[in-house]
Amino acid sequence: MRKGKLTAAAVAASTTLLLGACGGGASSDGFSAPVVEDPSFEQGTTMAHYAEQGEITIGTKFDQPLFGMKNLQGEMEGFDVAIGEIIAGQLGIPADKINWKKAPSKNREKYIQDGTVDMVVATYTINDERAERVSFAGPYYEAGQDLMVRADNDSITGPESLRDSDAKVCSAHGSTPSERIREYVDESRLVLFDSYSKCADALSNGQVQAVTTDDAILMGLVSDYEQDNFEVVGNTFSEEPYGVGILKGDTDFCEFVNESLRTAAENGSYAEAWESTAGKVAEKTPELPELRSCG
Ligand code: GLU
């Protein structure tokens, strides 16, 4: 079962028409995803179901600046949000018909499995353990685990430097970084919260000396906590390919998401999504990584 494909040019043309007609639908960070008008999908597919429904529920983070963030006005911002909008747009669903659901690291598989969300776009590393419970499309970005410290801390230079120190390290429950860091620090020096903004607060008030998670997330926290003078150590020690989490075994939907990502890379909306969000801080716009097979 495959969806009827539209060429990138047709998508771009219908998008221009639609945006022309309704004056665009830019989110607060200025990004506006192409929305395909009246897409057609094979009956019985997940795509047909969402397109028919005209809305979709996406799980993301609400407190990760530049990636998944609910701002003070209650609007959603960030690269993950933009990727969600890109996929929804290919289903004919405009940004204002997306229901955003806060999806903390440790709840993501559960939310996909029990139908709390239709998909997760939330700095979500693809790995074998998670793939036993959910399926992943993508990856749409490659991050790496790093450390964030106060700028005046020059004793923490990477994970090895944590072995013989008494530094406390913060991370989030149910995340890959919280597991990997156990190679370097024992349980008594590990502080876990349900989100990384709480770790940034703990670094700010001296409760911990380092925060560990993906460099992409730390970059957002450094910019958000500007007055605290945090910095990213810049010594990554893992590969964190970000996937779109969906119901396990929905190969058609996985292929559709991959095709939507490819279309976005071709029509420029992937680069635009980056530049309106994380690209405001990051130096280089990434290329869409090589997508994995869904089978
Ligand atoms: N990418 C890592 C993970 O999926 C860390 C980021 C997060 O917790 O969202 O566990």
Query: If you count them, how many residues does the chain have?
Result: 295
Sheet (strand 76-77) strand order: 63-64, 68-70, 76-77
| Most distant CA atoms of the chain, gap in Å | 62
Q: How far apart are the first and last CA of the chain?
A: 13
- pLDDT, residue 28, reads 76
Q: What is the pLDDT of residues 58-104, one digit of tens each?
A: 999 999 999 999 999 999 999 999 999 999 999 999 999 999 999 99
Name the residue of 63, 111, 123 to mutate for ligand 1: max ligand atoms within 8 A of Cβ: 123
Chain centre to alpha carbon of residue 279: 14
Please count the structural domains in the chain.
2
Q: What is the pLDDT of residues 160-181, one digit of tens each?
A: 999 989 999 999 999 999 999 9
150 within some domain: yes
290 within some domain: no
Report whether residue 195 contacts ligand 1, using a CB cutoff of 6 Å: no
Shared domain check, 16 and 132: yes
Shared domain check, 131 and 24: yes
* CATH code, domain carrying 137: 3.40.190.10
- pLDDT, residue 25, reads 61
Determine which of 19-33, 118-132, 135-149 has the lowest per-residue pLDDT on average.
Answer: 19-33
How far apart, in whole angstroms, are the C-alpha atoms of residue 193 and residue 203? 12
Shared domain check, 251 and 106: yes
User: Residues 93, 50: contact at Cβ < 8 Å?
Assistant: yes
Entry pTM: 0.91
Q: CA of 257: how far to CAs of 150, 232, 245, 293, 294, in Å? A: 39, 32, 10, 12, 10
User: Residues 116, 102: contact at Cβ < 8 Å?
Assistant: no
List the residue whose alpha carbon is closest to atom 6 of ligand 1. Answer: 123
User: Residues 61, 216: contact at Cβ < 8 Å?
Assistant: no
Shared domain check, 149 and 138: no
72 within some domain: yes
Q: CA of 71: how far to CAs of 33, 42, 63, in Å? A: 19, 37, 8
Among 212, 232, 252, the domain boundary falls at 232
- pLDDT, residue 27, reads 74
Q: What is the pLDDT of residues 177-229, one digit of tens each?
A: 999 999 999 999 999 999 999 999 999 999 999 999 999 999 999 999 999 99
Shared domain check, 261 and 130: yes
Tell me, in angstroms, the distance from the centre of ligand 1 to residue 254's CA.
20
Shared domain check, 133 and 252: yes
Q: What is the pLDDT of residues 22-49, one digit of tens each?
A: 334 667 788 999 999 999 999 999 999 9
Q: Which value, in Å, is the radius of gyration of the alpha carbons in the chain?
A: 19
How far apart, in whole angstroms, are the C-alpha atoms of residue 241 and residue 144? 8
How far apart, in whole angstroms, are the C-alpha atoms of residue 150 and residue 75? 30
List the residue whose alpha carbon is closest to atom 9 of ligand 1. Answer: 123
Burial class of residue 90 (count of CB atoms within 10 Å of its CB; 0-12, 13-18, 19+) = buried
Shared domain check, 250 and 136: yes
**Residue 218 domain boundaries:** 145-232
Shared domain check, 120 and 35: yes
Tell me, in angstroms, the distance from the centre of ligand 1 to residue 145's CA.
9
289 within some domain: no
161 within some domain: yes
292 within some domain: no
Of 249, 262, 252, nearest to 291 (Cα)?
Answer: 262
Shared domain check, 37 and 87: yes
Burial class of residue 278 (count of CB atoms within 10 Å of its CB; 0-12, 13-18, 19+) = buried
91 within some domain: yes
Ranges assigned E (strand) in the chain = 56-60, 63-64, 68-70, 76-77, 98-102, 119-120, 134-143, 145-150, 169-172, 190-193, 210-214, 230-232, 240-247
Q: What is the pLDDT of residues 245-288, one digit of tens each?
A: 999 999 999 999 999 999 999 999 999 999 999 999 998 999 99
User: Residues 121, 59: contact at Cβ < 8 Å?
Assistant: yes
Shared domain check, 215 and 160: yes
Tell me, in angstroms, the distance from the centre of ligand 1 to residue 258's CA.
20
Shared domain check, 247 and 175: no
How far apart, in whole angstroms, are the C-alpha atoms of residue 273 and residue 279? 8
Q: What is the mean pLDDT of residues 4-26?
A: 40
User: Residues 82, 273: contact at Cβ < 8 Å?
Assistant: yes
- pLDDT, residue 15, reads 42
168 within some domain: yes
Shared domain check, 188 and 71: no
Report whether residue 176 contacts ligand 1, using a CB cutoff of 6 Å: yes
